[in-house]
Amino acid sequence: MTEVERHSYDVVVIGAGGAGLRAVIEARERGLSVAVVCKSLFGKAHTVMAEGGCAASMGNANPNDNWQVHFRDTMRGGKFLNNWRMAELHAQEAPDRVWELETYGALFDRTPDGRISQRNFGGHTYPRLAHVGDRTGLELIRTMQQKIVSLQQEDFAESGDYEARIKVFAECTVTELLKDGDRIAGAFGYWRESGRFVLFEAPAVVLATGGIGKSFKVTSNSWEYTGDGHALALRAGATLINMEFVQFHPTGMVWPPSVKGILVTEGVRGDGGVLKNSDGERFMFGYVPDVFKGQYAEGEDEADRWYADQEQNRRTPDLLPRDEVARAINTEVKEGRGSPHGGVFLDIASRLPAEEIRRRLPSMYHQFKELADVDITAEPMEVGPTCHYVMGGVEVDPDTGAASVPGLFAAGECSGGMHGSNRLGGNSLSDLLVFGRRAGLGAAAYVAGLDTRPAVAPDAVDAAAALALDPFDPEVGGPAENPYTLQNELQQSMNDLVGIIRKADEMRRALATLDDLKRRLPNLVVEGHRQFNPGWHLALDLRNMLLVSECVARAALTRTESRGGHTRDDHPAMDSQWRNTLLVCSTDGDAVAVERKEQVPMREDLLALFELPELEKYYTGGELAAHPGRAE
């Protein structure tokens, strides 16, 4: 039998970003023992990259805000494909989750009367984003990391052992979930540092692994975003939904090449920055889609007045939801009105005094100064779309985060449904707080309700170990492959063929490439030994990237309409017939299957929060028969 380090916990949380940490805190507060496993060092998760803020309808900046308004904004942003129950829970609980962070020691920016300041963001009716300059994600991560330390200190005071109930397994990658019958029994992985295997025996696993952006060439995501949670869930028999919806953030850096894709926060536009093409024209006024007609300013004067007086004026279309802005930039560049390095201009220099820019957007100022040698207080930035977020993920129960496999939970970006076809900026940080906590609760309740603990079968451990070691001793099935080359081909193909604008024949070509890569995967050869070997790590991650990319491509090919983060050149219109259809991905181990599934209709009281004419833009007539507006 394989030599393996064994640990036993009540709950194993995979991923130490915001959702993971919030789940850890919740499970621990319910008295369970928790392991948190992460690929990076503790506190480095991708959540630190979130800049703009955390959406919560606290109503500090505008007292008219409440959860219903937030709920409506979220549903609109997602083009009514969202899981409405998740959107409801999210809007209702986000303020409590933010306030709770203050009790952990978070220091958000303040309003003049000492409450949490809130800023404007795309798609949000009122200023709603709790923020700390433009480093809100860092604040969240650090706050929860420090809360975990404080819980460990409590455990130390009680038992003399900091790690009595929470242990962090940093720089440790999980490669496989293990089951006992149909239930989760544990997780198998390796220490990145030593290459040694580690086995977690646990009845409940919470996936909080984030997204899949590393499958695309131009992305704001870090190397960790290889879709591990998505792939682990699939291989364990769970399902993914909405995988065709990938958010391209409209403003990523486009130059220099080595930082292409790195995010430029939407906060730049929230604080007054405007998009311009090479003619100096504020082109967004020409891109307000029909469904948003009347909700956005029609001229520059009104848009500019809105920053000072939001009651009397409509907001600038620079703050349309991200999918709209990304497409608009794409069109401008394609039609020859782009900036020198293939983006458009984002101008804040001419809109705010230099001092104010440095105060409100310190890390953006730095990022451009140090990476591109551009002074954003003096000249415009060049920006273009970058792969940013996947709306799709593990299909879960809204209230508990439970996947279809007993004992498996998911939260944050790697779960699906909450954001529908497009996520609003600021809704990801609130999402991971709300559903991170709920997944932790769900796991705790599940563990408490167990009669017997599942056991890990020894041969499953052997099989997982053999699979992980395969790249060191590959089959002789063809020419040896380099993992970096394969990764490049995958990223290029996904970027070019399943990117912002999609066509059926291109996606078929992408699927053919994916098939080819899948065939070559067993021929991967890794040099060196198991100790901190990045080539080996990539070889193992590639398996996940390929599986998840296939889901994205297949689902995208199936959905013959354009909606949110899925734009079909050959089906440019939104189709009401598709609105309540979810595409569900599953795998039998090798092939990926995509099936259609109908959503549960929205509860009537929630449906009644919308005016009938708005719903008619999205819904089919039959679905609205029960709407109170129709009944009159």
Helices 18-29 and 136-159 cross at an angle (nearest 10°) of 30
**How many residues interact with another protein (rule CB under 8 A)?**
72
Q: Among residue numbers 468 through 487, which ones bind another protein (CB under 8 A)?
A: 482-484
Closest distance to another protein from the beta carbon of 192 (Å): 9
> What CA dihedral angle connects 470, 471, 476 and 482, to 10 degrees?
160
Nearest to 287 by CA among 326, 248, 251, 249: 326
Q: Using the rule CB under 8 A, is 367 a contact of another protein?
A: yes
Closest distance to another protein from the beta carbon of 36 (Å): 13
Q: In angstroms, what CA-CA distances link 448 with 177, 396, 399, 453?
A: 21, 20, 17, 11
Closer to another protein at the Cβ: 55 or 582? 55
Closest distance to another protein from the beta carbon of 453 (Å): 30
Q: Among residue numbers 531 through 560, which ones bind another protein (CB under 8 A)?
A: 531-536
Closer to another protein at the Cβ: 58 or 326? 58
Interaction pattern, residues 207-226, with another protein; x per rule: CB under 8 A: ---------------xxx--
Closest distance to another protein from the beta carbon of 215 (Å): 17
Q: Using the rule CB under 8 A, is 366 a contact of another protein?
A: yes
- Amino acid identity at 213: G
Active site residue 327: no
Closest distance to another protein from the beta carbon of 257 (Å): 6
Closer to another protein at the Cβ: 97 or 566? 97
Please pick, from the candidates 15, 20, 27, 46, the single residue that binds another protein as defined by CB under 8 A. Answer: 46
Q: How far apart are CA 459 and CA 395, in angstroms?
A: 29
Helices 136-159 and 427-448 cross at an angle (nearest 10°) of 30
Tokens read off for 387: 């792969």
**Helix segments in 48-135, DSSP class H:** 67-77, 84-104
Q: Among residue numbers 286 through 315, which ones bind another protein (CB under 8 A)?
A: none
Q: Using the rule CB under 8 A, is 41 a contact of another protein?
A: yes
Please pick, from the candidates 200, 245, 255, 435, the single residue that binds another protein as defined by CB under 8 A. Answer: 255
Q: How far apart are CA 210 and CA 49, in angstroms?
A: 12
List strands edge to edge, sheet with 197-201. Answer: 5-8, 197-201, 183-191, 172-180
Closest distance to another protein from the beta carbon of 571 (Å): 35
Q: How far apart are CA 440 and CA 30, in angstroms?
A: 9
Closer to another protein at the Cβ: 48 or 396? 48
CB-CB neighbours of 622 under 10 Å: 8
Q: Among residue numbers 88 through 127, which ones bind another protein (CB under 8 A)?
A: 95-96, 99-100, 102-105, 107, 109-110, 112-115, 117
User: 């309808």: which residue's tokens?
Assistant: 57
Q: How far apart are CA 398 and CA 403, in angstroms?
A: 10
Closer to another protein at the Cβ: 106 or 615? 106
Nearest to 328 by CA among 179, 34, 512, 122: 122
Cis peptide before 256 (omega within 30 of 0): yes
Q: Among residue numbers 140 through 199, which ones bind another protein (CB under 8 A)?
A: 142, 146-147, 149-150, 152-153, 156, 162, 168, 193
Q: Using the rule CB under 8 A, is 461 a contact of another protein?
A: no
Closest distance to another protein from the beta carbon of 264 (Å): 10
Of the residues 72, 192, 322, 360, only one is catalytic, namely 322
Element (H, E) at 605: helix 604-607
Q: Using the rule CB under 8 A, is 139 a contact of another protein?
A: yes
Q: Using the rule CB under 8 A, is 336 a contact of another protein?
A: no
Q: How far apart are CA 404 and CA 146, in angstroms?
A: 33
Catalytic positions, written as ranges: 322
